[in-house]
Structure 1
Amino acid sequence: MTTPFIDVRARRPQQHEALMIELQEEAGFAYYRDILLFAAALGFRHNRHAPVTATHGDPIRYETLTSPAFSEALINMIAANVITDDPEIMDAARIEQRINIFETYANGGLEFIQEQVNIRSQPAARVVIDLVAEAFSESSGAKPASIEELLNGWAGGSA
């Protein structure tokens, strides 16, 4: 579902540049792309979103952002869960809107990480480890689901 004819890019929020550098240097995130993907998932999980008002550095090309196999699905799933009454949000022509939604959740996730760093008085790497461990302990990890459960979840029922 890539859009080669449109130069779509994800922006890095300026107010979190120091945190992103720390996450890259200390928490094992190889690329800014990986930080934004993690932060967007975290922001969505905690319903944290904030508009990106100022940016830093070069925006990340869509092709680079979506090079990990799961990332395009993550971007699309966040948008589909935010814009629930408009199935055309998944249309190729609306990729920029999906990226904008992704950016707001990534920014919200970065805000959440920074708050946790401040509250816990721990380095960002330790906070990330704790957040991942908390997510797994709360959900008891991945569970197998039947086809019926998956279809019911897709149709809006409980899985």
Structure 2
Amino acid sequence: MQELQEDGGFPTFRDVLLFAAAVGYRQERRVPFTTAAGDPIRYDTLTHPAFGEALVGMIAANVVAEDPEIMDAVRLEERIKIFEEYANGGLEFLQEQVNVRHKPASAIVIDLVAEAFTESGGARPVSVDELLKGVTWG
């Protein structure tokens, strides 16, 4: 995590964890979190800025797609556990990539982001009409 933060362009460990969870989810790498791996993730660490909370929810909603109640407040702990497992899997995957490719973490991050854009067709311009499609006023 230290190398990812310092060399990968992530300002905080929170940002490293968010990226790692997204990588873990994309690579379908869900690895149980053990106390040997470190302290559990404190949820309040992920909620500022708010997009961290959204990513935790999106991953959980996709993993437990058949159960919309996963988003209920009483199941927050379960959502965090799912997030932790994907973050752990993502960190494991990133470490493997550093070891196999013999590149610095920053290059691996760039490669993964470029790969994601290539596979998804990349960013494309969107008109205001497309952004507001389906929005009704009043």
Q: Where does residue 130 of structure 1 map in the other structure?
A: 111
**1:78 to 2:78 alignment:** no
**1:93 to 2:89 alignment:** no
Q: Where does residue 27 of structure 1 map in the other structure?
A: 8
Deviation per CA, 1:78-137, whole angstroms, max 9, x where unpaired? Answer: 001111221111000110000000000001111111111111111111111111111111
Deviation per CA, 1:51-89, whole angstroms, max 9, x where unpaired? Answer: 011232x55432221112321111101001111221111
Larger helix proportion of the pair? 2
Number of aligned residue pairs: give it: 128
Aligned positions of 1:1-159 closer than 5 A: 20-53=1-34, 54-56=36-38, 59-143=40-124, 144=126, 147=133
Q: Specify every segment of 5 or more residues in structure 1 that has no aligned partner in the other structure, as ranges.
A: 1-19, 149-159
Output the aligned Cα RMSD.
1.8
Ranges of 4+ aligned residues in structure 1 off by more than 2 Å:
58-61, 142-148
Normalised by the length of structure 2, the TM-score is 0.84
Q: Specify every segment of 5 or more residues in structure 2 that has no aligned partner in the other structure, as ranges.
A: none
Normalised by the length of structure 1, the TM-score is 0.73
CA distance in 2, matches of 1:69, 1:52: 24
CA distance in 1, matches of 2:84, 2:41: 11
Question: Does 133-142 or 96-105 show the bigger shift?
Answer: 133-142
Q: Identical aligned pairs, as a percentage?
A: 66
